[in-house]
């Protein structure tokens, strides 16, 4: 990925720089060509001014007034005057052709001579047969020459004459070409700098991904403690934290699964051992012993079935999202109270209930609240009062069950919410040890929690659920 990113960066940079340089070079070259043509045409204008404004005669009386210029008497004389008066600039040369042959050259030293270009004079003579001004380009040894040809014709002269002015295009374009070569050298250096910088920066940016790969290679089922160090503050750095959080969740899930398997094995070991032990010593000829062993096996298998059912319920709660409905808390509390008030052995009481809306999964919330009621009924003295309450505080609703049992020691408050977390206290011990974990899983699925307060005079379990209610009504207490 690092190489592909760097290659793409270099290709895009090179194409952009090359394209910009090429366009700039072509524009500058076109400007030079236009300037050369303009200069050549100015030579034509100067030559015509020589013909129109000069004379080949001299005044006899110096004191006399200037005479009106007389026209040249021949094409040869006019051409000689043009060559003598129109001086070539740098990188330029001029030539006068008379009768199809080169006759006049500039008296100023020039970089090149037009008559030395093979076939050039014959070419110009052939082009000027129509008597018009021509612009053209010819290749000479080591240079390219741009020229203009002007036929020279004065009244009364029949001899052909041609004025040539030419510019060395290679010399004129040398500055642009040199600048373009320098530009390419700068591009090469820039690409090297971009490559070095890009390699370094891409390495830093992609380091979290590389660390993820290395950590993933080191993580095994027996070594799950590997974590990725978080470096930097770029957009990829949060990926490291996210992967670490995922690894924490996977580690927790695997630890939970292993703990679950160990707990299930431990829980199933006792009923299996009991049933196998009685079957091994069973006297099949003793009807009473057979009946007692059968009853014991049915009872133990019933406990195993209840355990499996609780495990299935817990797994279903943890892996599926609640199906939420907007209901009234007071109606919900009355519905649950109707179910528990018929349970024998205790006096059930419903405290004042907040009348407000809440969005929950009613069947699951009912299951959780009833589980707390069942626990309270198991561990409370016969005939004692068990109180249900539903209260609203700010943005949450609390569903609680309070009993008058002997209480739960503080050191066991977390343990009882773990799978098979049964604690033998003065409340006694029974059940599968999955009831409270199911309650906690239901509360967690709703984005809530389960709290516990306990003393020697009683225990209160509270399911805290978030909600958006707008009104509170406190009716009279209901007794049953």
- Measured from the Cβ of residue 403, the count of other Cβ atoms closer than 10 Å reads 27
Outline which parts of the chain fall under CATH 1.10.287: 237-318
**Mean residue pLDDT across the chain:** 80
Q: Where are the beta strands (DSSP E) in 241-363?
A: 325-328, 347-353, 357-360
The bridge status of strand 134-140 relative to strand 101-105 is unpaired
The structure tokens listed for 293 are 């062993």
List pLDDT tens digits, range 398-451: 899 999 888 888 777 777 777 666 655 444 445 556 778 888 888 888 889 999
| Architecture of the domain delimited by 2-58+65-176 | 2-Layer Sandwich (3.30)
Contact between 89 and 35 (Cβ < 8 Å) = no
Closest CA to 273 of 295, 300, 294: 300
Q: What SS3 state is found at 93?
A: strand
Outline which parts of the chain fall under CATH 3.30.450.20: 2-58+65-176
Q: What SS3 state is found at 389?
A: strand
The mean pLDDT value for 157-185 works out to: 88
The structure tokens listed for 301 are 């298998």
CB under 8 Å to 75, separation ≥6 — which residues? 98, 152, 153, 154, 157, 159, 160, 161
Q: What is the C-alpha to C-alpha distance for residues 95 and 98, in angstroms, rounded to an integer?
A: 10
The mean pLDDT value for 226-240 works out to: 70
CATH topology of domain 237-318: Helix Hairpins (1.10.287)
The bridge status of strand 478-479 relative to strand 347-353 is antiparallel
pLDDT of residue 401: 92
The mean pLDDT value for 378-389 works out to: 89
362-379 and 435-445 helices, crossing angle to 10°: 150
pLDDT of residue 319: 67
HSE of 123 in the Cβ direction (CA atoms, 13 Å)? 15
Helix extents (H) in 380-473 = 435-445
Q: What SS3 state is found at 112?
A: coil
The structure tokens listed for 357 are 């809306």
Outline which parts of the chain fall under CATH 3.30.565.10: 323-479
Contact between 460 and 389 (Cβ < 8 Å) = no
CB under 8 Å to 335, separation ≥6 — which residues? 366
Q: What SS3 state is found at 452?
A: strand
**Residue 107: band (very low, low, confident or very high) from pLDDT cuts 50, 70, 90:** confident
**Cα Rg for the chain, rounded, in angstroms?**
53
Q: What is the C-alpha to C-alpha distance for residues 335 and 447, in angstroms, rounded to an integer?
A: 23
| DSSP of 177-243 | HHHHHHHHHHHHHHHHHHHHHHHHHHHHHTHHHHHHHHHHHH--SS-----PPP--SSTTHHHHHHH
Sheet holding 347-353, edge to edge: 449-455, 458-466, 396-402, 385-393, 347-353, 478-479
List pLDDT tens digits, range 275-310: 888 888 888 888 888 888 888 888 878 877 877 776
Lowest mean pLDDT among 17-21, 41-45, 317-321, 476-480: 476-480
Maximal CA-CA distance, the chain: 172
The structure tokens listed for 78 are 């006019």
CATH topology of domain 323-479: Heat Shock Protein 90 (3.30.565)
- Measured from the Cβ of residue 182, the count of other Cβ atoms closer than 10 Å reads 10
Q: Is the model's pTM score more than 0.75?
A: no
């Amino acid at each position: 990925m690092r190489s592909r990113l760097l290659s793409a960066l270099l290709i895009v940079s090179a194409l952009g720089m090359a394209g910009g340089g090429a366009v700039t070079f072509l524009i500058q070259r076109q400007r030079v060509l236009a300037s050369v043509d303009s200069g050549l045409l100015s030579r034509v204008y100067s030559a015509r001014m020589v013909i129109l404004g000069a004379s080949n005669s001299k005044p006899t009386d110096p004191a006399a007034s200037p005479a009106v210029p007389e026209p040249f008497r021949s094409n040869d004389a006019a051409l000689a005057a043009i060559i003598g008066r129109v001086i070539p600039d740098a990188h330029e040369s001029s030539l006068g052709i008379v009768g199809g042959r080169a006759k006049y050259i500039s008296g100023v030293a020039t970089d090149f001579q037009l008559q030395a270009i093979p076939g050039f004079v014959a070419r110009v003579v052939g082009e000027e047969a129509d008597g018009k001004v021509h612009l053209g380009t010819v290749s000479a040894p080591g240079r390219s020459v741009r020229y203009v040809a002007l036929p020279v014709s004065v009244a009364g002269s029949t001899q052909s004459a041609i004025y040539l002015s030419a510019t060395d295009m290679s010399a004129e374009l040398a500055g642009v070409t040199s600048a373009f070569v320098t530009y390419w050298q700068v591009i090469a250096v820039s690409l090297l700098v971009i490559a070095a910088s890009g390699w370094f920066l891409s390495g830093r940016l992609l380091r979290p991904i590389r660390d993820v790969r290395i950590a993933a290679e080191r993580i095994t089922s027996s070594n799950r403690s590997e974590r990725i160090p978080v470096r930097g503050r770029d957009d990829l750095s949060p990926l490291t934290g996210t992967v670490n959080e995922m690894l924490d969740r996977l580690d927790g899930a695997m630890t939970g699964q292993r703990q679950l398997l160990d707990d299930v094995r431990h829980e199933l070991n006792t009923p299996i051992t009991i049933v196998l032990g009685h079957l091994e010593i069973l006297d099949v000829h003793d009807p009473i012993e057979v009946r007692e062993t059968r009853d014991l096996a049915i009872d133990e298998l019933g406990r195993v079935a209840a355990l499996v059912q609780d495990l299935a319920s817990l797994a279903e709660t943890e892996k599926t999202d609640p199906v939420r409905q907007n209901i009234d808390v007071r109606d919900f509390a009355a519905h649950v109270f109707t179910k528990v008030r018929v349970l024998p052995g205790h006096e059930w009481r419903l405290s004042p209930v907040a009348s407000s809306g809440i969005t929950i999964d009613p069947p699951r919330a009912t299951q959780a609240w009833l589980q707390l009621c069942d626990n309270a009924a198991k561990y409370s003295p016969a005939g004692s009062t068990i109180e249900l309450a539903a209260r609203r505080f700010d943005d949450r609703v609390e569903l609680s069950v309070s009993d008058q049992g002997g209480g739960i020691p503080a050191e066991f408050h977390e343990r009882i919410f773990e799978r098979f977390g049964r604690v033998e206290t003065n409340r006694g011990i029974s059940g599968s040890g999955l009831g409270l974990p199911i309650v906690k899983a239901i509360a967690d699925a709703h984005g809530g929690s389960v709290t516990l307060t306990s003393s020697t005079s009683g225990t209160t379990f509270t399911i805290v659920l978030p909600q958006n209610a707008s009104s509170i009504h406190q009716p009279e207490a209901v007794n049953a």
